[in-house]
Amino acid sequence: MSWILILEQSLNGLQFGLMLFLLAAGLTLVFGIMDMINLAHGSLYMLGAFFAATLVQATGSFALGVLLAIPATALAGMLLEVAVLRTLYARDHLSQVLATFALILIANEVVRIVWGSDLQMTMPAALSGPVQLLPGMPYPAYRLLIIGVGLAVAALLYVLVAKTRIGMLVRAGASNREMALAMGVNIQRLFTLVFGVGAALCAVAGAMLGPLFAVQVGMGESILILAFVVIVIGGIGSIRGALVGAVLVGMVDTIGRAFLPHLFGLFLPPQFASAAGPAIASVLVYLLMAVVLFVRPQGLFPARG
Amino acid sequence: MNARAAALIAALAAAVAFPLAMQAADQLFFVGFASRVLIWAIAASSLNLVLGYGGMISFGHAAFVGTGAYVSGILIAGGVTSAWIGWPAAILASAVLALAIGAASLRTRGAYFIMITLAFAQMMYYLMNSMKAYGGDEGLSLTSRAALGFGLDLGNEVTFYYVVLAALCALLYATHRLAHARFGRVIAAIRENETRAEAIGFPVYRYKLICFVIAGAAGGLAGALLASHGKYVSPSLLHWTQSGTLMIMVILGGVGRLWGGALGAVLLLALEHLIAEHPIPWLLAIAPNYPQHANLGVGIVMLVIVLYAPQGLAGLVSRKRHA
């Protein structure tokens, strides 16, 4: 019984971690190549979810709506890059933080004006039921779909980064931007492309998580900070680090929230355990980040040697 | 007397006369509002210490303000109303937290530092959100403000205003002295060229950490005042958008300028108040709901300032003076 519960929560953790990876992957590449801190990445996640919710309703098909939302968000991301973010590369981090923070405020209000504070997004009816994963262990089919999509996109990204020419340029840019420039790589065009891919990944995560969490203004901000934690743990510019970090954060967060209060109850008085359990569980990923920082300040898989 | 000193005395005289004028005009609401502005001026000035003088882009300053507010609020709720205990305790707690966060995050630099301070501040937000004993996500309501003794009643808006004003003046004076002392020179040297400062032989990490802790402690004072002012403490004080708002204030006023934080706080809060409470008729005719979307305006103004006037409004003024 309790083993089934642990397995179930591990799958939940994996599912959350994979979606976190989609966000962190785009963010870490933007960091790695342009040394640019982009807080508005979470706004693209929000935009992706709102696009998906609208398009799913308009087309009447979940798959079609989500598939249309991805290029739409990628386009929005590339537009944002060309219009605003491009001028920020040469600026200091403070300017980047402030400008992209301003973009969050603008994006939130624009979404509020266009769509209102939140939208309903329903999962496809065929996947709303449970699947008998093991004897005695039902698991929501939709969450399995998320895990599948997450793994597929991660594999696709791996092939794109490790096996294609564009991926080679991206890796060159991440490990040494000046050298890549000197070798004649058109960093500017490459970066618009990377930004589009990052926005598309945001849209996948936003669209897939839409039916589980609420599609609402501000949804991108708390998950953005978790994506930062992932990048700090994994190492800036490293896709592999982002994957390991994201799954680690997803697992620790989910399993901590599910079992820590119970675990504390084993050896602490109940009134203390019920108070301390949720409190510690909510800060567990940040403690993990602090530990990683002390052991390896550059993250687990630093992209630069 | 030079123009600088004249401006200083005029500003101080206006600040001292303000509550008396409002009292005479029977507009006590504005005294309370002004106290809130001055408290945020303290918070923004404390951030300016680390951001402007120290050159460290701390994106988690709300953690120190919020911790100060919670410590002071919890003490008042527990029956310890004396400000002479509550406020030093708030300052001390924020300083200790700044020591812990600073010790971990100052091991890194650049984008890492920004993300880590942000993440640790958000950790405090989630922690207080889950602390059911202290109100959890509903926050903590207080029955009274802190008590100062000496026949001073902080429940009186005018008295409270003067106490906050005194605290702000003390902080700005201390910042001025600090910036011109040996410590301030070293911090400026580190900000301008860390490698060089290290090569000269300064313990860079230790100096930065001390600067970070002082700023955190001052943020704690702002938090303690804020708890008494609204008689309410909530986790939203710790939310990361508060850190962003504080940063906007500093940029608006002028990074690394003595008056930057205070000026920015006054400008931003006055602007927010004007947009929310005094709608412009013709703008209302075009966009009926615009006061609810004040952040859109703040965002656009912010973006324009960052892109075209990175020195803030104080920078615009002094550039004109030099021209």
Q: How many helices (H) and strands (E) does chain A have?
A: 11, 4
Mean pLDDT computed over B178-199: 90
Range from A201-205, A262-266, B90-94 carrying the lowest mean pLDDT: A262-266
Answer yes or no: are the C-beta atoms of B129 and A282 closer than 8 Å.
yes
Using the Cβ of A127 and the Cβ atoms of chain B, whether some distance falls under 8 Å is answered with no
Amino acid B312: pLDDT: 58
Residue A298 tokens, joined: 């550059």
Summarised one tens digit per residue, pLDDT across range A222-236 is 888 899 899 889 888
Residue B108 tokens, joined: 């890194």
- Which has more confidence, A254 or B310? A254
At residue B322, does pLDDT exceed 60?
no
Residues constituting chain A: 305
Cα separation, B232 vs B234, in Å, equals 7
- In terms of Cβ atoms closer than 10 Å to its own Cβ (0-12, 13-18, 19+), residue A233 is buried
Answer yes or no: are the C-beta atoms of B314 and B259 closer than 8 Å.
yes
Cα separation, A179 vs B187, in Å, equals 33
Looking at chain A, which residue has its C-alpha nearest residue B58?
A94
Using the Cβ of B268 and the Cβ atoms of chain A, whether some distance falls under 8 Å is answered with no
Summarised one tens digit per residue, pLDDT across range B104-116 is 888 887 778 888 8
Range from A8-22, A26-40, A142-156, B111-125 carrying the lowest mean pLDDT: A26-40
Residue B300 tokens, joined: 């656009």
Answer yes or no: are the C-beta atoms of A234 and A245 closer than 8 Å.
yes
Answer yes or no: are the C-beta atoms of A58 and A65 closer than 8 Å.
yes
Mean pLDDT computed over A246-264: 87
Neighbours of A155 (CB within 10 A): 10
Answer yes or no: are the C-beta atoms of B218 and B42 closer than 8 Å.
yes
Answer yes or no: are the C-beta atoms of A263 and A34 closer than 8 Å.
no
Instruction: Give just the sign of the alpha carbon dihedral B292, B294, B299, B301.
Output: positive
At residue A101, does pLDDT exceed 80?
yes
Contacts of B127 (CB under 8 A, 6+ apart): A279, A282, A283
Can you give the residue range of the structural domain that contains B303? 3-322
- How many domains does one find in chain B? 1
Cα separation, B190 vs A285, in Å, equals 32
Looking at chain A, which residue has its C-alpha nearest residue B105?
A293
- Which has more confidence, A67 or B295? A67
Q: Distance from A193 to chain B by nearest Cα, in Å? A: 22
Amino acid B317: pLDDT: 58
Using the Cβ of B241 and the Cβ atoms of chain A, whether some distance falls under 8 Å is answered with yes
Mean pLDDT computed over B285-298: 75
DSSP state of A123: P
ipTM score assigned to the predicted complex: 0.83
Residue among A28, A29, A101, A298 with most chain B CBs within 10 A, to mutate: A101
Mean pLDDT computed over B56-64: 92
Looking at chain B, which residue has its C-alpha nearest residue A102?
B299
According to DSSP, the β-strands at B232-233 and B140-141 are antiparallel
The whole-model pTM stands at: 0.86
At residue B6, does pLDDT exceed 60?
yes
Query: In one letter, which amino acid is B117?
Result: T
Query: In one letter, which amino acid is A266?
Result: L
Amino acid A300: pLDDT: 84
At residue B27, does pLDDT exceed 90?
no
Amino acid A232: pLDDT: 87
The verdict on a CB contact (< 8 Å) between A293 and B57 is no
Cα separation, B135 vs B93, in Å, equals 19
Amino acid A305: pLDDT: 41
Assign domain A2-295 to a CATH class: mainly alpha
Cα separation, B228 vs B90, in Å, equals 12
Using the Cβ of B255 and the Cβ atoms of chain A, whether some distance falls under 8 Å is answered with yes
Answer yes or no: are the C-beta atoms of A24 and A255 closer than 8 Å.
no
The verdict on a CB contact (< 8 Å) between B119 and A286 is yes
The verdict on a CB contact (< 8 Å) between B302 and A282 is no
Q: Residue A286: its chain B contacts at CB < 8 A?
A: 119-120, 122-123
Instruction: Give just the sign of the alpha carbon dihedral B179, B184, B189, B191.
Output: negative
Answer yes or no: are the C-beta atoms of B261 and B314 closer than 8 Å.
no
Residue A35 phi/psi, 5-degree rounding, is 55, 45
CA distances (Å), origin A216, targets A116, A120, B94: 9, 9, 33
> Among A242, A261, A282, which Cα is nearest to A24's?
A242
Residue among B48, B53, B61, B116 with most chain A CBs within 10 A, to mutate: B116
Using the Cβ of B115 and the Cβ atoms of chain A, whether some distance falls under 8 Å is answered with yes
Whole-angstrom Cα Rg for chain A = 20
Give the CB-side neighbour count of residue A250, counting CA atoms within 13 A. Answer: 25
Range from A51-65, A157-171, A262-276 carrying the lowest mean pLDDT: A262-276
DSSP state of A210: T
Amino acid B315: pLDDT: 59
Domain at B196, CATH number: 1.10.3470
Mean pLDDT computed over B15-19: 81
Cα separation, B239 vs B6, in Å, equals 39
According to DSSP, the β-strands at A118-119 and A215-216 are antiparallel
> Among A95, A36, A94, which Cα is nearest to B57's?
A94
Cα separation, B181 vs B196, in Å, equals 20
Amino acid B136: pLDDT: 78
Cα separation, A8 vs B168, in Å, equals 54
Amino acid A20: pLDDT: 93
At residue B254, does pLDDT exceed 90?
no
Q: Distance from B132 to chain A by nearest Cα, in Å? A: 7
At residue B85, does pLDDT exceed 80?
yes
